[in-house]
């Protein structure tokens, strides 16, 4: 398996040298000078504690004096006013006149309601002056009035108070840039106050300060702030001990050129000290004060305490292992802490495929990594992974696989359609069962034919399934696909031929069935018509017999009527004769009895005549009715005889047709036609014997090893095992690809 390889190696850089740095060290060694020896010899720990307590008492005294001030003039000179001082100003503003000279504009609107505030630019240190009844109290600090512990607090004597009073007036009325009254900024109008006396030839004179500094150039104890103009003045000092409030104070050039002077960082709020001259400055030289003996003791005690607790020393050269757990500061302002050991975790991402030996021997640029990332660490354990050239995520599986999948699908679709065609041929044979009219002998003939064809189809099915089993996606290539297509064309041709022959035989069976159906129907019609004619003949015979009986009955009735007519005529004659006799008797005398006799006889004849007449009328009526019935029957018999004759003629025609057309079945054999096969992949413009399978075959074979990936015009052959490399190289060359590794979650291999 090609997986991520892991390495660990440890390198020691402890002997490496760092040049020109500041080093933090509470136990930093400082060479002893006369001044420092004097400090240590004259100060004890007990005295230092007492003096520092005195300085705290001075802070408390300043706050108490401000809090209790009444009807006083208060002058505050400070760059920043903390919340405690602001609260004091607001509390005592109603009972005192307060003047504030500051750089802080954030709270001016608030305090200008209780004092007159002016804003200046160059301020150094802080001082507070409280004047009442021409008496002045003063307090001085080397920093802003933020009541911090790491600054110098001094109580000023009367001379110092007077100097600072005049210095405040100069700054407030001459140097101020803005004025705030009652929360609003007002325009400053230039004016000289009555008590404005500019300082001259003392600590507030810039030229005087410069001359004082240049008087001594050795054995000095000097503290400087950032960008102090004193730096240029002190370039020629030798064997000085510089205490720097900000170790970036001195220029790099000065630090690098001076190999003897000791530079120590000491964050105390003073500017410089040379014997008893205390100089205060920020961006410009502003003022100096000559400190008293007690003030000097306070200052030196504070300085000694700060040096003991926190210092920085400048090193021109030092071994890295000597600085373990210490913080260093470069001249460009960067800071670092020296560590004893660290572990660097990294990885080497191969940008191309590497053989196993080359891959497993990959190394980091250890020294360059140390220089770039861990220059302040003595020992580094490099723990890193060697990551193979994984296939980039934007590379996708090459379309060649889709082409072969389509070819594989088309090939198998062709086989499946051919197999389905065989199944449809089997199913077509079931149509024979629907030919019910076929006689058993004819059916058996067709079944024997289909049985022979089914044997061929079964063999073709086995061959098609064999191709289907062999033609897997993994084994398909250009040559095998072409071979399979040729085999399929041959087999499909045979299938189509068998299908065509079976279609023809089914067509014959269908036609024979239709012929037999028509014959059976004709025979049924003949039989039915014969039965119909027989029935009609019987009915006709019955009607003719009935007609004959009616004729005999009519003859009998006619004879009976004739007899009745004769009887009637005889009775009429008798009646007439008797009537004549009666008429004769009516004219004769003495004929009464005779007349009655004749009348009696005549009446009897009359009755007999009436009865005979009635009988004759009834007989005539019956005769006429019977005659009509016979005439209707004669007409019906005539009609039935005609119908019978028509049916007999039709029967003769049907029998002639049966004899002529249905004596023996003859199949009108058709030409072999293209079977309606579901093999839609065939070119239907070709004849059955010339049909070809049209399947698109890719121009390249799939790789036998690895997976081909592509992005635009670039190809990669992706592999997973080292054992695949040799064969994959050949495949990659054939495909115009480079090798890559499949990215999968694996355990790292340890080298």
Q: Return the pLDDT at 710.
A: 94
In this structure, how many other beta carbons lie within 10 angstroms of the beta carbon of residue 238?
Answer: 11
Report the pLDDT value the prediction gives residue 42, as an integer from 0 to 100.
45
Q: Is the pLDDT of residue 45 over 70?
A: no
Tell me what the mean pLDDT of segment 271-280 comes to: 52
The C-alpha atoms of residue 652 and residue 526 are separated, in whole angstroms, by: 9
With residue 313 as reference, give the H or E element that holds it. strand 312-319
For the chain, the structural domain boundaries read 18-31+201-329, 34-186, 406-419+437-446+474-661
Residue 306 pLDDT > 60, yes or no? yes
What's the CATH class of domain 18-31+201-329?
alpha beta
State the maximum Cα–Cα separation within the chain, in Å, rounded to a whole number.
Answer: 233
Using the predicted structure, report yes or no on whether residue 402 has a pLDDT greater than 90: yes
Q: Rounded CA gap, 436 and 132, in Å?
A: 144
| Integer angstrom CA distances of residue 471 from 70, 462, 483, 485, 692 | 112, 14, 10, 11, 19
Q: Whose CA is closest to 708, among 744, 737, 741?
A: 737
Assigned fold of 34-186:
Endonuclease; Chain A (3.30.870)
* Most confident option among 195-204, 383-392, 563-572: 383-392
The predicted pLDDT at position 627 comes to: 87
E-strand ranges in 439-534 read none
pLDDT(232) > 70: no
How many CA atoms, within 13 angstroms, populate the side-chain half-sphere of residue 94?
Answer: 2
- Using pLDDT thresholds of 50, 70 and 90, give the confidence band for residue 718: very high
Query: Which neighbouring-strand residues pair with 547?
Result: none
The kind and range of the H/E element at 206 are helix 206-213
Asked if residue 225 has pLDDT above 80, the reply is: no
Task: Dump the DSSP string for 96-113.
Answer: SEEEEEES--TTHHHHTT
Which tokens go with 600?
């009696």
Least Cα distance to 693 among 491, 451, 406 occurs for: 491
C-alpha atoms less than 13 angstroms from C-alpha of 64 in its C-beta half-sphere: 6
pLDDT of 143 strictly over 50: yes
Which pLDDT score is estimated for 391? 94
- In this predicted model, which residue has the larger pLDDT, 217 or 665? 665
Question: In terms of pLDDT, which residue wins out, 549 or 296?
Answer: 549
Which of 249, 318, 237, 292 has its CA nearest to residue 25? 318
Task: Please choose, from the candidates 710, 736, 707, the residue with its C-alpha nearest in 3D space to the C-alpha of residue 721.
Answer: 707
Please answer whether residues 271 and 291 qualify as being in contact, where contact means their C-beta atoms are separated by less than 8 angstroms: no
- Residue range 90-101: average pLDDT? 91
CA distance 675 to 687: 11
Share of residues in the chain with pLDDT > 70 (%): 75
Q: How far apart are CA 174 and CA 190, in angstroms?
A: 7
Residue 367, pLDDT > 70, answer yes
pLDDT, mean of residues 670-675: 55
Burial 370-395 (b: 16+ CB within 10 A, else e): beeebebbbbbebebbbbbbbbeeeb
Residue 596 has a pLDDT of: 81
Q: Take residue 299 and report the two structure tokens written for it.
A: 């200052």
Of residues 48 and 155, more confidently modeled: 155
Q: Rounded distance, CA 702 to CA 475, Å?
A: 9
More confident position, 652 or 203: 652
3-state secondary structure of 200: coil
Neighbours of 142 (CB within 10 A): 23
CA distance 31 to 311: 13
Looking only at the bridges linking them, the beta strands covering 396-397 and 707-711 are: antiparallel
Task: Confirm if 100 and 168 have CB atoms less than 8 A apart.
Answer: no
Task: Choose the most confident range, by mean pLDDT, from 185-199, 249-263, 420-434, 486-500.
Answer: 486-500
What pLDDT sits at residue 357? 94
- Band of residue 682 on the pLDDT scale cut at 50, 70, 90: very low
Residue 681 scores a pLDDT above 50: no
> What is the C-alpha to C-alpha distance for residues 651 and 529, in angstroms, rounded to an integer?
6
- Closest to 298 (Cα-Cα) out of 264, 341, 268, 329: 268
- State the Cα–Cα distance between residues 526 and 542, nearest whole angstrom: 24
Q: Cα torsion for 539, 543, 548, 549, to the nearest 10°?
A: 100
Mean pLDDT of 134-157: 79
Give the pairing of strands 262-265 and 272-274: unpaired
| Class of residue 25 by CB neighbours under 10 A (exposed 0-12, middle 13-18, buried 19+) | middle
Tokens representing residue 531 in the block: 């039965």
Query: Rounded CA gap, 184 and 311, in Å?
Result: 45
Is residue 253 helix, strand or coil? helix
Which strands form 707-711's sheet, in the order they lie side by side? Answer: 396-397, 707-711, 714-719, 738-741
- The mean of the pLDDT values for the chain is 80
pLDDT surpasses 70 at 99: yes
The mean pLDDT value for 138-157 works out to 77
**DSSP run (H or E) holding 295:** helix 293-309
Strands 116-119 and 97-102: parallel
Q: Is the pLDDT of residue 485 over 60?
A: yes
* pLDDT over 60 at 687, yes or no: no
- Residues 461 and 484: their CA atoms lie apart, in Å, by 15
Shared fold status for 18-31+201-329 and 34-186: yes
Look at residue 139 in the predicted model and tell me its pLDDT. Answer: 93
399-429 vs 478-587: helix axis angle to the nearest 10? 40
Residues in the chain: 751
CA distance linking residue 515 with residue 667, whole number of Å? 10
pLDDT confidence of residue 684: 42
Does residue 197 surpass a pLDDT of 60? Answer: no
| Beta carbons of 578 and 602 less than 8 angstroms apart | yes
Cα distance between residue 277 and residue 288, in whole Å: 7
Instruction: Compute the distance between CA of residue 666 and CA of residue 365 in angstroms, rounded to an integer.
Output: 100
User: Is the pLDDT score of 750 beyond 50?
Assistant: no
The predicted pLDDT at position 311 comes to 65
Say whether 374 sits in a helix, a strand or coil. coil
Which strands form 178-181's sheet, in the order they lie side by side? 153-156, 135-141, 126-132, 73-77, 97-102, 116-119, 178-181, 184-186
How sure is the predictor about 266, in pLDDT bands with cuts at 50, 70 and 90?
low
Phi, psi dihedral angles at 182 (to 5 degrees) = 55, 40
CB 146 within 8 A of CB 98: no
The larger pLDDT score, comparing residue 721 to residue 280, is at 721
pLDDT-derived band at 31, boundaries 50, 70, 90? very low
Which range (55-59, 97-101, 441-445, 720-724) has the least confidence? 441-445
d(CA 444, CA 440): 6
Helix (H, G, I), strand (E, B) or coil at 305: helix
Encoding tokens for residue 550? 């009616």
**184 Cβ contact list (under 8 Å, min separation 6):** 109, 112
Would you place residue 7 in the very low, low, confident or very high pLDDT band (cuts 50, 70, 90)? Answer: very high
Residue 263, token pair as written in the block: 């530079």
Q: How confident is the model at residue 717 (pLDDT cuts 50, 70, 90)?
A: very high
- DSSP secondary structure letters along 389-417: -BPPTT-EE-HHHHHHHHHHHHHHHHHHH
The side-by-side arrangement of strands in the sheet containing 749-750 is 339-349, 377-387, 5-12, 749-750
The pTM is what?
A: 0.46
**Which tokens sit at 349?**
């991402």
Kindly report, residue by residue over 148-161, the tens digit of the pLDDT: 555 778 899 998 99
Which of the two residues, 294 and 730, has the higher pLDDT score? 730
Q: What integer is the mean pLDDT of 676-686?
A: 45
Average pLDDT of the segment spanning 590-596: 73
Long-range contacts of 741-745 (CB under 8 A, 24+ apart): 741/2, 741/353, 741/388, 741/389, 741/390, 741/391, 742/2, 742/390, 742/391, 742/707, 742/718, 743/390, 743/391, 744/720
Average pLDDT over residues 104-112: 74
Three-state secondary structure readout of 63-99: HHHHHCCCCCEEEEECCCECHHHHHHHHHHCCCCEEE
pLDDT band of 41, cuts 50, 70, 90: very low
* pLDDT for residue 358 is more than 90: yes
Tens digits of residue pLDDT in 317-352: 899 999 999 999 888 878 899 999 999 999 999 999
Beta strands at 335-337 and 339-349: parallel, antiparallel or unpaired: unpaired
Model confidence at 316: pLDDT above 60: yes
Query: Phi and psi of 342, rounded to 5°?
Result: -150, 160
pLDDT bracket for residue 295 (50, 70, 90): confident
Residue 586 tokens read as: 């009516």
């Amino acid at each position: 398996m090609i997986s991520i390889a892991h390495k660990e190696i440890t390198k020691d850089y402890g002997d490496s040298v760092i040049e020109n740095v500041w080093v933090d060290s509470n136990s930093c060694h400082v060479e002893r000078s006369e001044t420092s020896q004097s400090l240590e010899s004259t100060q004890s720990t007990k005295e230092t504690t007492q003096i520092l307590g005195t300085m705290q008492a001075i802070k408390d005294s300043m706050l108490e004096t401000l809090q209790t001030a009444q009807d006083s003039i208060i002058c505050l000179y400070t760059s920043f006013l903390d919340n405690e001082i602001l609260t004091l100003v607001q509390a005592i503003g109603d009972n005192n006149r307060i003047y504030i000279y500051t750089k802080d504009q954030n709270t001016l609107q608030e305090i200008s309601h209780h004092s007159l505030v002016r804003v200046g630019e160059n301020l150094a240190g802080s001082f507070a002056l409280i004047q009442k009844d021409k008496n002045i109290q003063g307090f001085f600090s080397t920093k802003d009035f933020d009541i911090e512990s790491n600054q110098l607090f001094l109580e000023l004597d009367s001379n110092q108070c007077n100097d600072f009073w005049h210095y405040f007036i100069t700054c407030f009325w001459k140097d101020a840039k803005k004025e705030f009254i009652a929360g609003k900024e007002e325009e400053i109008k230039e004016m000289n106050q009555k008590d404005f006396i500019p300082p001259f030839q003392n600590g507030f004179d810039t030229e005087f300060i410069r001359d004082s500094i240049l008087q001594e150039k050795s054995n000095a104890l000097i503290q400087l702030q950032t960008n102090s103009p004193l730096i240029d003045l002190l370039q020629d000092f030798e064997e000085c001990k510089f205490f720097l409030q900000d170790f970036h104070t001195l220029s790099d050039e000065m630090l690098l050129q001076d190999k003897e002077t000791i530079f120590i960082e000491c964050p105390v709020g003073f500017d410089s000290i040379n014997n008893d001259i205390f100089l205060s400055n920020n961006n410009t030289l502003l003022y100096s004060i000559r400190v008293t003996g007690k003030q000097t003791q306070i200052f030196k005690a504070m300085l000694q305490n700060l040096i003991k607790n926190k210092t920085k020393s400048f090193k021109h050269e030092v071994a890295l292992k000597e600085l373990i757990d210490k913080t260093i500061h470069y001249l460009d302002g960067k800071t670092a802490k020296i560590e004893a050991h660290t572990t660097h975790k990294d990885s080497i991402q191969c940008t191309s495929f590497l053989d196993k030996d080359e891959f497993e021997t990959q190394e980091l640029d250890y020294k360059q990594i140390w220089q770039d990332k861990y220059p302040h660490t003595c020992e580094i354990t490099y723990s890193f992974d060697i990551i193979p050239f994984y296939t980039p995520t934007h590379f996708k599986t090459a379309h060649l696989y889709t082409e072969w999948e389509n070819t594989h699908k088309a090939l198998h679709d062709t086989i499946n359609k051919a197999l389905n065609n065989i199944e449809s041929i089997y199913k077509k044979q079931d149509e024979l069962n629907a030919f019910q009219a076929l006689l058993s002998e004819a059916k058996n003939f067709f079944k024997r034919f289909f049985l022979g064809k089914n044997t061929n189809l079964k063999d073709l099915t086995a061959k098609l399934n064999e191709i289907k089993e062999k033609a897997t996606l993994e084994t398909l290539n250009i040559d095998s696909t072409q071979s399979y297509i040729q085999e399929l064309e041959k087999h499909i041709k045979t299938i189509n031929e068998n299908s065509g022959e079976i279609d023809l035989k089914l067509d014959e069976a269908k036609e024979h069935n239709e012929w037999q159906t028509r014959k059976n129907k004709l025979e049924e019609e003949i039989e039915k018509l014969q039965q119909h004619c027989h029935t009609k003949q019987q009915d006709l015979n019955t009607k003719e017999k009935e007609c004959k009986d009616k004729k005999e009955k009519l003859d009998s009735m006619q004879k009976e009527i004739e007899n009745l007519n004769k009887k009637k005529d005889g009775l009429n004659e008798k009646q007439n004769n008797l009537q004549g006799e009666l008429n004769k008797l009516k004219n004769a005398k003495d004929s009464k009895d005779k007349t009655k006799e004749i009348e009696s006889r005549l009446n009897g004849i009359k009755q007999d005549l009436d009865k005979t007449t009635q009988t004759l009328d009834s007989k005539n009526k019956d005769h006429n009715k019977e005659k009509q019935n016979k005439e209707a029957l004669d007409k019906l018999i005539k009609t039935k005889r005609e119908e019978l004759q028509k049916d007999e003629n039709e029967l003769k025609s049907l029998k002639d047709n049966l004899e002529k057309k249905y004596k023996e079945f003859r199949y009108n054999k058709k030409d072999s036609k293209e079977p309606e096969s579901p093999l839609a992949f065939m070119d239907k413009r070709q004849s059955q014997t010339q049909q070809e399978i049209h399947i698109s075959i890719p121009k390249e074979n799939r790789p036998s090893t690895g997976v081909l990936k592509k992005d635009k015009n670039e190809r990669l052959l992706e592999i997973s095992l080292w054992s695949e490399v040799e064969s994959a190289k050949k495949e990659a060359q054939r495909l115009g690809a480079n090798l890559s590794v499949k990215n999968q979650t694996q355990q790292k291999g340890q080298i």
